[in-house]
Each structure stands twice: as structure tokens, then as C-alpha cells.
Amino acid sequence: MSEGPKKTKYSATRRLLLKSKLLKKAASMLVAEIEQKKQERERVVKDCFPPLNLPGLSVQELQDLCKELHRKIDVVDEVRYDTEVKVVKNETEVQSLKEKIFGLKGTKRPNLKKVKKTTDDMLGACSDPSKLMKPDFKAKLKTVKKEDEKKEEVTDWRKNVEAMSGMDGRKKMFNAGQ
């Protein structure tokens, strides 16, 4: 039986070395990405908001500049609010979908451990007659005899009343109870 080309296995030290190199590379890439984002943010701020040249402006021009800046701030706040509302709406939708998925899946079954059985155990289980027979649980139970309840004969109720009337009937009832 040919199993195909064998994969080479790395030693523990080689794997540790490769892992450390990967982590160093990932850290350097992360630092570069953060630096790139910072530069992009600064470029966007410079493009959108050129530096203010305040010296030499009159009071009226400064007031107009302030009003313009306030209008821009209002626009940015409206956009920010709209995006926040969209984000909250999407998050609630995602949460409800997650709950639906969980409801459809049900509870998660735990992973069962694999039990290693040798061939002797498996063959022994098949050939051993004591393991093939199912246990008879009823054989071990005690037998209980049921006492038949005393059935009273159905008689005419008038005779019973006449027999129990008076002191003699009460004495019979008292003696029967003991």
C-alpha cells in the first residue's frame, strides 16, 4: 500500500523558530499599517481643512469664518449620528439573527472522548456468551403475593340495617374493628 508522498515534519525547535519569525513579521506589518493609517488621517485632515490664516482678518471675516466652521461641524455631526443609528440597527439585527440561529441549532453537544479498544476486546465481546446474553432484570426481583381482598357479598341493605340496629349492632361493629 502506498500512502503517497510523506510530509516532512519539523522539529520543535524549527517550529518555534518559524513561529517567532512569523510573529516578528506580523508585529512589523502591524506597526507599518498603524503608521500608514496615521499618515492617511493627517492627509485627509489637511485636504478637508486647510490651515487657518487668521492674522489680517477683520472682525466680520472672523465671524463669517466661525459661522462656516459651525455649519461644517453640524454637517459632520449629522453624518456621525446617521452612521451611529445605522450601526446600532445593524448590531440589533445581527444579534436577533444570532439568537434565531442558536434557536434553530439547539444546544451544543459536547465532544465525546474516543475510547481505544483493542481487537482482542472487540473479538472477546463478540464471542463471549455471557456478554451476548442480555441481563434479565426481572429474575432478580422478589415475587410478591397479592392478597385477595375480601369481597363482601352484596345483600339486601334492609337486612344489614336491621342487623346493625340497636346495641347489638354497635357491639358487632366495635368487635369487627378490632
Task: Determine the Cα–Cα distance for residues 159 and 153; give it in Å rounded to an integer.
Answer: 13
Q: pLDDT tens, 113-157?
A: 777 777 666 666 666 555 555 556 666 677 777 666 555 566 666
What is the structure's pLDDT at 110? 72
Residue 116: its pLDDT value, please?
75
Contact between 131 and 125 (Cβ < 8 Å): yes
The pLDDT confidence band at residue 1, using thresholds 50, 70 and 90, is very low
Q: Which residues are CB-neighbours of 124 under 8 A, at least 6 positions away?
A: 131
d(CA 16, CA 152): 92
User: Is 174 within the bounds of a domain?
Assistant: no
Q: In this predicted structure, what is the pLDDT of residue 114?
A: 79
How does pLDDT run across 19-71, given as a tens digit for each residue? 999 999 999 999 999 999 999 999 988 887 777 777 777 888 888 988 998 99
> Domain check: are 57 and 44 in the same one?
no
Q: Copy the grid coordinates of residue 5.
A: 508522498
Domain that holds residue 40: 16-51
Confirm whether 157 is domain-assigned: no
What residues have CB less than 8 Å from 92, skipping those under 6 apart? none
Domains: count for the chain: 2
**What's the pLDDT at 22?**
94
85 within domain boundaries: yes
CB 82 within 8 A of CB 69: no
Task: Specify if 152 maps to a domain.
Answer: no
Q: Are 58 and 69 members of one domain?
A: yes
* 57 and 101 both lie in a single domain: yes
141 domain residue, yes or no: no
Q: Is residue 162 part of a domain?
A: no
